Amino acid sequence: MQGYSAAQAWIAAAAVWLAAILVPELWGMHPGNILILTLLWAYLCVAWNLMGGLLGQISFGHAAFFGIGAYASSFLMIRLGLSPWLGMLAGGALAAVAAMLVGYIPFRWRLSHLVFALFTMAFDFVLLYLVGGLPFLGDVNGLYLPVGTDPWMLQFADRRFYLYTIAGLLTLALGLSVWLSRSTIGQYWRAVRENEQTAAAVGIDLFRMKQAGLALSAFMTALGGSFFAHYVAFIDPHSAFGMDIAIKLILFTVVGGIGTLLGPVVGAALLVPLGEILRTELTGGPGFAGVSGLVYGVVLILVILMAPQGLVGSLPGRWRRTPASVSDEDATPPAGVSFVPVIDTRAAGGTLLEVEGLSKRFGGLQAVRDVSFSVSAGEIFGIIGPNGAGKTTLFSMLSGFQAPTQGHIHFAGRSITGWDAHQVCRAGIARTFQITQPFPGFTVEETVTLAARAASGTDDAHDIVSRLLHETGLWSRRTVHCAQLTLAEQRRLEIARALATRPRLLLLDEVMAGLTPSEMQGVADYIARLPERGVTVVMTEHVVRVVMNLCGRVMVMDAGERIALGTPDEVSRDPKVIEAYLGKRSAVSPPAADLAANT
Sign of CA dihedral 177, 181, 182, 183: positive
| 135: number of Cβ within 10 Å | 7
Q: Name which of 304, 224, 183, 295 is nearest 48 in CA terms.
A: 224
Q: Same domain for 472 and 580?
A: yes
Domains identified in the chain, total number? 2
Q: Same domain for 357 and 265?
A: no
Q: Is residue 285 part of a domain?
A: no
> CA 257 → CA 3, 177, 262, 439, distances in Å?
16, 15, 8, 20
CA 275 to chain centre: 33
| 148: number of Cβ within 10 Å | 12
CATH number of the domain within which 195 lies? 1.10.3470
Residues contacting 456, CB < 8 A, separation 6+: 501, 502
Residues contacting 229, CB < 8 A, separation 6+: 69, 70, 71, 73, 74, 145, 235, 240
Range(s) of the domain holding residue 461 = 351-597
Task: Please identify, among 240, 270, 300, the residue that sits at the C-terminal boundary of a domain.
Answer: 270
Q: Same domain for 569 and 427?
A: yes
CATH number of the domain within which 460 lies? 3.40.50.300
Query: pLDDT tens string for the chain (599 positions)?
Result: 557 888 999 999 999 999 999 999 999 898 999 999 999 999 999 999 999 999 999 999 999 999 999 999 999 999 999 999 999 999 999 999 999 999 999 999 999 999 999 999 999 999 999 999 999 999 999 999 999 899 999 999 999 999 999 999 999 999 999 999 999 999 999 999 999 999 999 999 999 999 999 999 999 999 999 999 999 999 999 999 999 999 999 999 999 999 999 999 999 999 999 888 877 776 555 445 567 778 888 888 999 888 888 999 888 655 555 433 333 444 444 444 333 344 444 445 689 999 999 999 998 899 999 999 999 999 999 999 998 899 999 999 999 999 999 999 999 999 999 999 999 999 999 999 999 999 999 999 999 999 998 876 665 678 889 999 999 999 999 999 999 999 999 999 999 999 999 999 999 999 998 899 999 999 999 999 999 989 999 999 988 889 999 999 999 999 999 999 999 999 989 999 888 876 665 555 545 455 555 45
At residue 127, the 3 state secondary structure works out as helix
Q: Name which of 95, 117, 101, 59 is nearest 224 in CA terms.
A: 95
Contact present, 493 and 474 (Cβ < 8 Å):
yes
Q: Name which of 21, 71, 65 is nearest 47 in CA terms.
A: 65
CA atoms within 13 A on the CB side of 138: 19
Task: Please identify, among 270, 305, 324, the residue that sits at the C-terminal boundary of a domain.
Answer: 270
Q: Name which of 384, 338, 374, 339 is nearest 529 in CA terms.
A: 339
Q: Name which of 61, 215, 48, 217 is nearest 124 in CA terms.
A: 61
Contact present, 53 and 180 (Cβ < 8 Å):
no
Q: Same domain for 260 and 395?
A: no
Q: Same domain for 266 and 355?
A: no
The 3-class secondary structure across 54-76, one letter per residue, is HCCCCCCCHHHHHHHHHHHHHHH
Torsion of CA 59, 60, 65, 66, to 10 degrees: 120
Q: Is residue 144 part of a domain?
A: yes
Q: Same domain for 213 and 357?
A: no
Q: Name which of 186, 193, 184, 196 is nearest 441 in CA terms.
A: 193
Task: Please identify, among 270, 286, 309, the residue that sits at the C-terminal boundary of a domain.
Answer: 270
Q: Name which of 425, 420, 416, 376 is nearest 538 in CA terms.
A: 376
DSSP code per residue over 278-320:
HHHHS-SSGGGTTHHHHHHHHHHHHHHHH-TTHHHHTS-HHHH
Q: Same domain for 549 and 402?
A: yes
The whole-number pLDDT of residue 323 equals 37
Q: Is residue 300 part of a domain?
A: no
Amino acid at 332: T
Contact present, 430 and 495 (Cβ < 8 Å):
no
* β pairing state of 365-376 and 429-431: unpaired
Contact present, 166 and 184 (Cβ < 8 Å):
no
Q: Same domain for 251 and 368?
A: no
Facing residues of 507 across strands? 431, 538
| 157: number of Cβ within 10 Å | 9
Q: Is residue 427 part of a domain?
A: yes
The whole-number pLDDT of residue 581 equals 77
Contact present, 210 and 103 (Cβ < 8 Å):
yes
Q: Is residue 327 part of a domain?
A: no
Q: Is residue 369 part of a domain?
A: yes
> CA 195 → CA 23, 192, 198, 202, 249, distances in Å?
44, 5, 6, 11, 24
